[in-house]
């Protein structure tokens, strides 16, 4: 059958229409974009495979930790947030090449902005500052308040290393940005400067304002008479009695400045070391006086039942100031039968005082923190002129055998309780027996004492001065023989070193603080209403009587 004429155009039109549709399908299949800008299939709407985009950055080595972050957390966060892949490779010795790859330019630009933002952040570093150990208290402040203030102002993390760098220095660690560390260093330097200036000013003011301490005679000694005119040899002429030898006033090995605070005799006296501890003691006395002068504070610290060895706060009758004291004896009151009186030993000065039990108070714990200042000593290489035997006959080393004139002259030469600095040097030791039951004691140092002559260059040997005036003689007994083998080993005397060895002359800190409290005045007992000193042979009997007195049996 032959096709009609009108049907042919229709067939050709349908063929062209199909071909045009196929062409349009192929054209629009991969040319449609979604809202995010990605190419998607025209008919299915699925994203087509994009062409990767890459970018590079050069980052200095010092800033790489900021991009990577702690344990890589910052880098992981950037990659997960943007979908980019970030890698690093060496560029040169001072920088790294950062390559950023992503499925689109938008992803790469977003990751690049985040990296640049991290590199613009200040770098956190840690530095150290070395400060004097004495200034750590000023830097810390009470309960760490000053240290917290430094952290708040500088916005840095500041802390003191737990272990001291040395005996005189300590390390302060600072973590923060460069500007934060700079501010923290300035604040720490201010604290160190304030501490140095305050110590210097307060020490000078303290020594200038420290009043002579009017002492009461210790319970084991009688009042010292005034020497006659014949014994008052001018100190300026003392250099002639040393064989014409001039001694340099510059301190030698083992020499230190001290105050002589209390004297019983040249065989027993107490000293204080000159230095920051002198200021601490003056501040302690001031704070204790302010605190215990208030009635409500005394009521809080009433002593219900005093006992031997108890550390208390007591008022010194001569100056009405409050001091730390130890109860060294509890004795019947001679004037009020049935009552007792306390024999107090002042731990920072070495003198004694009788006090009623209702006039002492418990010591507030913070007042016990400073070290005890009184250190018992004896004058080395001298002994009384009238020494009856080469061996000491009393626990105190024979102080009762000294002539009162010699004791008085010794007080003159040492400027006792006048707070004038003199020089001491440890040359020997002797054993110490505590009068209290069960109390351990430390060996007592034997010292040579020197006073600076008026010319400022010569040193006056006080022991030699007493010998030259006929008030003492050279000692014939080596007191180191009294020490046990272990004590000699601890003090460096067991190897046969001489009296002038450096181990003996190192520092008076070898003498433990217990020597201040254990080396009280001679044991005091009651005999016909009088206080007398007993020989060492009946020391055990005295201890028993101490115990009975403490329990209230008299």
DSSP-based three-state secondary structure for 200: helix
CA nearest to 202, candidates 94, 302, 275, 295? 275
User: What was the pLDDT predicted at 158?
Assistant: 92
* CATH class label, 252-274+372-385+403-433+441-492: mainly beta
Mean pLDDT calculated for residue range 95-99? 88
CA nearest to 156, candidates 120, 122, 183? 183
Hey, where are the domains in the chain? Answer: 53-120, 124-206, 252-274+372-385+403-433+441-492, 275-371
Token couple for 227: 């020497």
User: What was the pLDDT predicted at 411?
Assistant: 94
* 69-76 contact pairs (CB < 8 A, 24+): 69/118, 74/118
Residue-wise pLDDT tens digits, 395-433: 444 455 899 999 999 999 999 999 899 999 988 888 876
- Counting Cα atoms < 13 Å in the Cβ hemisphere of 163 gives 1
Confidence of residue 305 (pLDDT cuts 50, 70, 90): very high
CA nearest to 462, candidates 230, 133, 163, 239? 239
Residue-wise pLDDT tens digits, 37-95: 555 555 555 665 667 788 888 888 878 888 888 888 888 888 888 888 888 888 888 88
* CATH class label, 124-206: alpha beta
Question: Which stretch of 20-24, 238-242, 293-297, 303-307 has the lowest confidence by average pLDDT?
Answer: 238-242
More reliable by pLDDT, 395 or 158:
158
User: What was the pLDDT predicted at 121?
Assistant: 79
Residues 245, 238 contacting (CB under 8 angstroms): no
CATH 3.30.1370.10 fits 53-120, yes or no: yes
User: What was the pLDDT predicted at 552?
Assistant: 33
Output helix, strand, coil percentages for the chain, rounded to the nearest 5.
35, 25, 40
User: What was the pLDDT predicted at 197?
Assistant: 79
Residues 188, 150 contacting (CB under 8 angstroms): yes
Question: Which stretch of 214-218, 296-300, 515-519 has the lowest confidence by average pLDDT?
Answer: 515-519
As a whole-number percent, the residues of the chain with pLDDT over 70 amount to: 67
User: What was the pLDDT predicted at 536?
Assistant: 36
- Within 8 A by CB and 6+ apart from 21, the residues are none
Average pLDDT of the residues of the chain = 74
pTM of the shown model: 0.53
CA nearest to 236, candidates 424, 458, 409, 75? 458
2.40.50.70, 2.130.10.10, 2.30.30.140, 3.20.20.10: CATH of 275-371:
2.30.30.140
Confidence of residue 247 (pLDDT cuts 50, 70, 90): very low
* One fold for 53-120 and 124-206: yes
Mean pLDDT calculated for residue range 315-337? 92
User: What was the pLDDT predicted at 374?
Assistant: 94
């Amino acid at each position: 059958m032959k096709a009609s004429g009108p049907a042919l155009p229709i067939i050709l039109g349908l063929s062209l229409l199909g071909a045009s549709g196929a062409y349009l399908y192929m054209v629009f299949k991969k040319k449609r974009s979604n809202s995010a800008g990605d190419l998607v299939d025209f008919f299915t709407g699925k994203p087509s495979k994009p062409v990767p985009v890459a970018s590079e950055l050069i980052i200095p080595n010092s800033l790489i930790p900021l991009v990577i972050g702690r344990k890589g957390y910052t880098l992981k966060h950037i990659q997960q947030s943007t979908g980019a892949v970030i890698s690093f490779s060496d560029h040169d010795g001072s920088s790294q090449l950062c390559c950023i790859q992503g499925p689109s330019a938008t992803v790469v630009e977003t990751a690049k902005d985040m990296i640049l933002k991290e590199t613009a952040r200040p770098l956190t570093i840690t530095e150290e500052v070395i400060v004097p150990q004495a200034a750590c208290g000023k830097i810390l402040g009470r309960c760490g308040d000053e240290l917290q203030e430094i952290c708040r102002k500088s916005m840095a993390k500041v802390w003191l290393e737990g272990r001291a760098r040395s005996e005189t220095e300590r390390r302060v660690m600072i973590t923060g940005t460069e500007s934060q560390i700079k501010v923290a260093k300035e604040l720490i330097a201010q604290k160190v400067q304030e501490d140095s200036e305050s110590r210097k000013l307060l020490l000078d003011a303290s020594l200038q304002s420290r009043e002579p301490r009017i002492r009461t005679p210790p319970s084991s000694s009688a009042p010292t008479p005034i020497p006659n005119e014949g014994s008052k040899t001018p100190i300026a002429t003392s250099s002639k009695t040393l064989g014409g030898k001039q001694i340099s006033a510059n301190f030698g090995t083992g020499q230190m400045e001290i105050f002589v605070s209390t004297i019983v005799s040249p065989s027993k006296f107490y000293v204080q070391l000159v230095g920051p501890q002198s200021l601490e003691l003056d501040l302690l006395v001031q704070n204790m006086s302010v605190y215990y002068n208030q009635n409500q504070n005394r009521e809080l610290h009433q002593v219900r039942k005093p006992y031997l060895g108890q550390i208390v706060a007591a008022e010194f009758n001569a100056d009405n100031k409050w001091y730390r004291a130890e109860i060294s004896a509890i004795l019947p009151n001679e004037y009020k039968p049935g009552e007792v009186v306390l024999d107090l030993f002042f731990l920072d000065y070495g003198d004694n005082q009788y006090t009623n039990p209702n006039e002492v108070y418990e010591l507030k714990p913070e007042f016990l923190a400073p070290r005890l200042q009184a250190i018992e000593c004896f004058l080395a290489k001298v002994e009384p002129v009238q020494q009856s035997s080469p061996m000491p006959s009393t626990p105190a080393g024979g102080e009762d055998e000294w002539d009162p004139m010699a004791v008085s002259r010794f007080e003159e030469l040492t400027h006792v309780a006048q707070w004038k600095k003199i020089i001491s040097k440890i040359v020997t030791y002797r054993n110490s027996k505590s009068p209290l039951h069960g109390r351990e004691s430390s060996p007592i140092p034997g010292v040579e004492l020197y006073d600076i002559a008026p010319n400022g260059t010569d040193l006056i040997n006080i022991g030699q001065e007493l010998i030259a005036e006929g008030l003492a003689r050279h000692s014939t007994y080596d007191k180191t023989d009294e020490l046990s083998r272990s004590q000699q080993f601890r003090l460096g005397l067991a190897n046969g070193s001489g009296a002038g060895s450096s181990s003996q002359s190192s520092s008076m800190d070898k003498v433990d603080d217990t020597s201040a409290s254990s080396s009280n005045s001679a044991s005091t007992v009651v005999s016909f209403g009088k206080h007398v000193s007993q020989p060492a042979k009946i020391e055990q009997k005295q201890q028993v009587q101490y115990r009975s007195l403490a329990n209230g049996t008299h």
